[in-house]
Chain A
Amino acid sequence: MHELSIANHLVSLACQSVRQEDVTRVSAITIRVGALACVHPDSLKFCFDAVSEGTLLEGAELRIISVPVVVYCPTCQCEIELPEIQPLRCTVCQTPCGDVRHGNELELESIEVVDASD
């Protein structure tokens, strides 16, 4: 259940990011999770709801964008998106590809805030 630790880091990072803004609440946050990042979306959502209680993020919707694995194929000399997380092999020419360009993401993309009305 490392999703709990990740949720803790996510909530503190998001709270820190909106601290300077004059907002009444956060309505949603969007994150990017790579296929190789070993994160279970439902567990993360569950933990996020628990951890965000009592913060500006309470009740915010957690939107998860799944990022597929993209490798660089030295033979084709281009990036190749893989349909599955393994094998790490070019789908065009079958060359083994150890150079993972995407798929390990664990990023806070954006925060949707509701501004305080004047």
Chain B
Amino acid sequence: MIEPRILAVRTKILKKNDELARRMRAEFVASGVLVTNLVSSPGTGKTALLLETMKLLIDRGRRVAAIVGDLETDNDARRLAESGAPVRQIMTHGCCHLEADMVRDHLDGWDLGQLDYLFIENVGNLVCPTSWDLGESLRVALLSVTEGEDKPLKYPGLFNTSDVAVITKIDLSRACEFDRGLALKNIEAVRPGMVVLETSAKTGGGVTEWTDFLEQKKGP
């Protein structure tokens, strides 16, 4: 009887993705482009907020581009292209999250040195995108007032690995009886000290503050 032998490996399972993401991040940083990964459940309003953000940045003379992930359709890419910025759609055909190589494959032909901001709108999902580093410098977890205040408690992994939280659709707060204090408390429970911004793409409320936050992260 041959005894089994144990090989110690101690390696991250997503090593290949992590290594590629690290190389991409180094390239993004060297090119001076701020890469932001937006993650939320479907219907939080990522695209609506992103469109307003891109328009405002373009008005300020910034050079922006976006890559957007969905299982099917290029609807979001077409909406974001209304800003006038270059936009590419990743159709994952069933895959519930973006991976670093998908993003890399959609950068072809873009001169990163000619961009100030690159936005990656992830597939609408609060679980699966959490483990996948896309080479971003800023991960944003979005939560709409229509979803309920306990989303951060239900999906702590995403909120804990994100750099900033954005509450969207604040124009609907009253209709939804949204308890702002409770939402902030829940975010604090899973990510103490997290910066939280509150926006409405519909009324424009908070969009300037959110864009100013990005400009501050980008630096001169």
Residues of A at the B interface (CB closer than 8 Å) are 1-2, 5-6, 9-10, 12-14, 17-18, 21, 27-28, 31, 36-39, 85-89, 96-98, 100, 104, 106-115, 117
Contacts and interface: CB of A to CB of B under 8 A. Distances in A.
27 contacts: A1-B128, A6-B131, A9-B17, A10-B13, A13-B9, A13-B13, A21-B7, A31-B13, A38-B157, A38-B158, A39-B131, A86-B156, A98-B191, A98-B193, A107-B11, A108-B10, A108-B13, A110-B6, A111-B6, A111-B7, A111-B9, A112-B4, A112-B7, A113-B6, A114-B2, A114-B5, A115-B5
Interface of B: 2, 4-17, 95-97, 99, 127-128, 130-132, 153, 156-158, 160-161, 188-194
Given A38-B130, A106-B12, A106-B14, A17 B7 contact: yes
Nearest to B14: A9
Closest 6 CB pairs of A and B: A96-B192, A2-B128, A87-B189, A98-B192, A38-B157, A111-B7
A22 B48 CA distance: 56
Contacts of B161: 36, 104
Contacts of A36: 156-157, 160-161
Given A6-B131, A108-B9, A109-B9, A88 B4 contact: no
Given A17-B11, A106-B13, A108-B10, A88 B191 contact: yes
The B contact surface, by secondary structure, is mixed
* Most interface-central of A31, A36, A96, A109 (chain B CB within 10 A): A36
A9 B12 CA distance: 10
A61 to B, nearest CB: 11
B2 A107 contact: no
Nearest to A117: B2
A37 B9 contact: no
Given A6-B131, A13-B15, A86-B190, A113 B5 contact: yes
Contacts of A112: 4-7
A35 B16 CA distance: 22
Contacts of A89: 189, 192
Contacts, number: 116
Given A9-B13, A9-B14, A13-B16, A96 B188 contact: yes
B40 to A, nearest CB: 15
Contacts of B130: 37-38
Contacts of A13: 9, 11, 13, 15-16
A38 B127 contact: yes
A115 B5 CA distance: 7
B7 A18 contact: yes
A114 B192 CA distance: 47
Contacts of B191: 88, 98
A89 to B, nearest CB: 7
A81 to B, nearest CB: 16
Contacts of A98: 191-194
